[in-house]
Every structure is written in C-alpha cells, then in structure tokens.
A and B are shown apart, each in its own frame.
Chain A
C-alpha cells in the first residue's frame, strides 16, 4: 500500500465519516461501543479499499461495507444500557424548533428504532438516507418487492407504536 493510497482513503473517509457515525449510532447504545464499531468499520473499509475501483461513489460503497460490518462482522454484544448523557447528545432536538408533540413522537420513534432487529434497522437506515428500493435490495441481497413489503411492515409497526 502506498502512502498515496493511505492519504486518499483517510481523506475520503474523513469527508464521509458521517455515514459511519450514523450506522454506529443506530447499532450501538453507548459511546465506547460507538467508537469500537467505528474503528471496526474503518478497518474493514481500509481492507476492502484496494478492491474499490471507483465504479460507484465512495459513499455508496461505504454504506455497504459499514452495514455489513454492523450486521455481520461486529462481534460485541449489545447488552449495554444507553447512558442518559449519550442519549441527550444523539437524540437532542434544537431549542428553536421545539415542539412538545413532535419531540414526544420522535423520542418514541427513536426508541422503537433501537428495538428493531439488525436487518430491519438496516432497511430503515437506508430509507432515511434517501436510498431507493433498488439500492436497498442490492445492499441487503433481497428482491426489490420484498424490500418494499418489509419496509411497509416496519412503517406500520412504527405507526402502531405512535398511535396505540
């Protein structure tokens, strides 16, 4: 690996690190696990980087490796309990847009999101990231129709949580 490749990779990852942080926020409950998963994703990205030939955008490629790491390769159990300090950072709503009903709804929804299984989380994540169903299906290895059906089920699940 040349110095150039290292520099290129780190610069790209630094620019796109939000994607990895968002995956970590979704799949972990405390800061230590967040950092742990971030590191593992970085290692996996770096290992796969020589095979990334720029056929897709760097960010598109990142989604796949990051989610694969979270769903499959990451080994730590998720038994840790979320700390109040961490939740207030990741789920806070800015004061100028404060709306008690919305805040309550969002809180419930983020809570419900955390309770979803690994695969469902990946689906919602890609949906929230504005990925279309073709991309979602390709990333997870399922058919587009099934991705839609599954997403509708998750939407209904979230709706039931909000309007019991």
Chain B
C-alpha cells in the first residue's frame, strides 16, 4: 500500500480526535487582539518613521542645530529638512498603499510578496535616513575645514592659544567623521538585525515558493 494512502486513511480518522471548542469559546476569540507579524511590522515601521523626528526633540539635538548655524551651514540644514520631509511623506504614502494591499485572502505567494514589499519600503526609508545622517556629518566636517575658527563658530570657548590651529582642525574633522561612521554603523546594525529577525520566516517561505518555479 502506498505510504501516503496509509497516512491519509489515518489522517481521516483523526477528525474524531481533534479538540472541540464550544460556541462561546470561539465567540470570545474573535474579540482578542491579533499578534500577527503584519501587526508587528506595522507598529515597528511606524516607530521607525517617527524615530528620526523624535531625535530633534532631545536637548542635545537642539544644541547640534546651533552648531550647524555657527558653522554657516544653516541653509544646508534647511534644505536637507525640506528634502527629508518630502521623502518621508512619499515613503509613508507608499507604505500605507502597500500595507492596504496585504490580505489573507490572497494565495500564499502573493501574500508573502506583498508583506515583503511593504517592509522593503521601510528598509529603503531607513537606508535613506542613514545616508542623510552620514552625509550631514561629512558636510559638518567640510564646514569645519572651511571655517577660520571652527571652535568659536561651534560655540565652544576653550582656550587653545598654544595649540596649532591646523592640528585642532584636523582633530575636529577626524572626530566628526569617526563619530558619523560609528553612529551610522550602530544604527544600521540595530536596524538590520531587527529587520532580519522580523522577516526570517517570511523570507524562508517566500524563497521556498519561488524556488518551485523553474
């Protein structure tokens, strides 16, 4: 006898061994909160959209804005903010559009593909933000390079009369660039770790379905 037929026969018998829930038990369940991956992706994405903007509310960030203005980079800050908010609006619109397309009534492949696409929108957004952060550090380094007295311009009143001004400048530029690299790398690592954990199962199953098409 075919092994699978044996399994099928036994599988049918199991109908009677399955647990049975009553009407009230099922009724209660329909009002419970879902803990599906889509809900998690939605919440985490919203946090990721908001996070870069919440950073501006920190006192340290306000001080940074003063430094930018001191270095004569106020215009860059303004332009980059306009670009950033336009891009944010575009991404939120894309994200919402794709999120709305997710339906458990699609076939498994379509559903997986729609969820991964939605998440990819957020991924591009995060890459954009990380690039912007990194670029702003580079621009700040350039501002220091072009400034005659960067320490004063940034509002620091250190007495460095004996120090070689070129050395001070080089140290400042190196520090800013190093800090920029570290901040971008750390934020990038945290993000991609989260991204990987969230989508591990989905990616695996989507790859499996795709590999069936040859």
Contact = CB atoms under 8 A, between A and B. Distances in A.
Interface of A: 6, 9-11, 13-14, 17-18, 21-22, 25, 34, 38-40, 42-44, 46-48, 51-52, 61, 64-65, 67-69, 71-75, 89-90, 92-94, 102, 105-106, 109-110, 113, 117-120, 122, 127-128, 130, 138-143, 146-147, 149-150, 155, 158-159, 162
23 contacts: A10-B26, A21-B18, A22-B18, A39-B29, A42-B30, A43-B29, A43-B32, A43-B33, A46-B30, A64-B105, A72-B115, A75-B35, A75-B40, A94-B13, A106-B10, A109-B7, A119-B208, A119-B209, A128-B4, A141-B209, A142-B213, A147-B212, A162-B3
B176 interface: no
The majority secondary structure among interface residues of chain A is helix
Given A6-B27, A43-B29, A94-B13, A68 B108 contact: yes
Interface centre among A11, A128, A162 (most CB of B within 10 A): A128
Nearest to A17: B21
Interface in B26-59: 26-27, 29-30, 32-38, 40
Contacts of B26: 10, 13-14, 17, 42
Contacts of B201: 72, 118
Given A21-B19, A46-B30, A122 B108 contact: yes
Contacts of A67: 108
Contact of A44 (B10, B18, B104): B104
A66 to B, nearest CB: 9
3 smallest beta-carbon distances between A and B, as pairs: A141-B109, A141-B107, A73-B36
Nearest to B29: A42
Contacts of B103: 48, 51
B79 to A, nearest CB: 41
B14 to A, nearest CB: 7
Interface of B: 3-4, 6-8, 10-11, 13-15, 17-23, 26-27, 29-30, 32-38, 40, 103-112, 115, 201-202, 204-205, 208-209, 212-214
B107 A64 contact: yes
Given A6-B30, A14-B26, A72-B205, A105 B3 contact: yes
Given A43-B29, A128-B11, A65 B105 contact: yes
B36 A74 contact: yes
Contact of A109 (B3, B22, B213): B3
Nearest to B34: A43
A94 B4 CA distance: 19
Given A40-B36, A158-B7, 4 more contacts: A10-B23, A109-B6, A130-B8, A147-B212
